[in-house]
Homo-oligomer: A and B are copies of this chain.
Amino acid sequence: MLLHLSTWVEIEAYLKRSRTVVIPIGSNEQHGPTGLLGTDWLCPEIIAHEAQKGGDLLVAPTFNIGMAQHHLGFPGTIALRPSTFMAAIGDWCKSLAAAGFEKLYFLNGHGGNVATIEAAFSELYAEASYAGVKRGFACKLKNWWDLEGVTALANRQFPSGHGSHATPSEIAVTQWAYPDQIKTANYAPQIAPTGPIREAMDFRARFPDGRMGSDPALATPEKGGELVRAAAAGLIRDVAAFAAEAPVI
């Protein structure tokens, strides 16, 4: 069930049977010479939309811009500063909580988002701690590749050249969903270098075509489809467990 294609009347009915909502969250940022700029928000959106076809899952609109400052040296990247990102996550959560949602599950597609999303949850909890909070309200962050079975599958699919940015697994997921948007290039080197993540100009100097440790040529739409199915199944189970958590009093 997609929230943005529902009416408020339908959501009011849904809230009578569940207090849980899934929010795909990612980033719009360079993904090497062949990865789509939307990769990191498309992946969780693709997986969550697939999962809701197979279960009574409510999926919110996708939070499509995240913490991507280190990619700003490449055009097409759009980034929120961490302070803005935190404020926006807080507003999303407060809006949903005002409507009665108590379990907010963020399915994340960008490693660079993790620190700020966790900080945003703490900011929200801190405010709630001073104001008095409804017991049982909880936010949870899960990267799609950390869903049960997904990384193991990716390791089997890509025993080498997976890397950490513009990876063949995330590119495969978008290839499966957007088969007419598959791009190719000659990679030099075939497997990109690795290194620390610092400021944007430093990043472009270290990683001239934007990839980190990856060989995107390994991606295929078929492998993407396998990943999506594994992730969607894992998501349904993980959300169910989260929804079933009872508050500790």
List the number of copies, as a whole number.
6
Q: For residue A51, which residues in chain B have a CB less than 8 angstroms away from its CB?
A: none
Q: From B15, B65, B95, B202, give the contact of A135 (CB < 8 A).
A: B202
Do residues B7 and A35 form an inter-chain contact, with CB atoms below 8 A?
yes
Is A244 interfacial (CB 8 A cutoff)? no
What 7 additional pairs, Cβ within 8 angstroms, besides A98-B130, A138-B199? A8-B74, A82-B120, A82-B122, A82-B123, A83-B87, A115-B116, A135-B202
Is A48 interfacial (CB 8 A cutoff)? no
Do residues A42 and B4 form an inter-chain contact, with CB atoms below 8 A?
yes
Closest to A69 in B: B126
Q: For residue A60, which residues in chain B have a CB less than 8 angstroms away from its CB?
A: 28, 78
Q: For residue A199, which residues in chain B have a CB less than 8 angstroms away from its CB?
A: 125, 128-129, 133, 137-138
Do residues A79 and B91 form an inter-chain contact, with CB atoms below 8 A?
yes
Is A213 interfacial (CB 8 A cutoff)? no
CB distance from A25 to the nearest CB of B (A): 12
Do residues A28 and B61 form an inter-chain contact, with CB atoms below 8 A?
yes
Do residues B95 and A72 form an inter-chain contact, with CB atoms below 8 A?
yes
A39 to B10, CA, bound (A): 15
Given A99-B76, A115-B119, A248-B206; A3-B28 close (CB under 8 Å): yes
Closest to A36 in B: B5
Q: For residue A79, which residues in chain B have a CB less than 8 angstroms away from its CB?
A: 91, 95, 126
Do residues B76 and A84 form an inter-chain contact, with CB atoms below 8 A?
no
Q: For residue A9, which residues in chain B have a CB less than 8 angstroms away from its CB?
A: 33, 185
Do residues B78 and A125 form an inter-chain contact, with CB atoms below 8 A?
no
Is A188 interfacial (CB 8 A cutoff)? no
Do residues B91 and A80 form an inter-chain contact, with CB atoms below 8 A?
yes
Offer 21 A-B interface pairs, CB within 8 angstroms, sorted by A: A5-B181, A7-B32, A9-B33, A62-B64, A64-B64, A72-B98, A72-B99, A78-B95, A81-B127, A83-B87, A84-B87, A84-B90, A98-B130, A115-B115, A115-B122, A116-B118, A125-B199, A125-B200, A133-B199, A138-B202, A202-B248
A200 to B183, CA, bound (A): 43
Q: For residue A181, which residues in chain B have a CB less than 8 angstroms away from its CB?
A: 5
Given A119-B116, A202-B248, A247-B202; A36-B64 close (CB under 8 Å): no
Do residues B11 and A37 form an inter-chain contact, with CB atoms below 8 A?
yes
Closest to A73 in B: B129
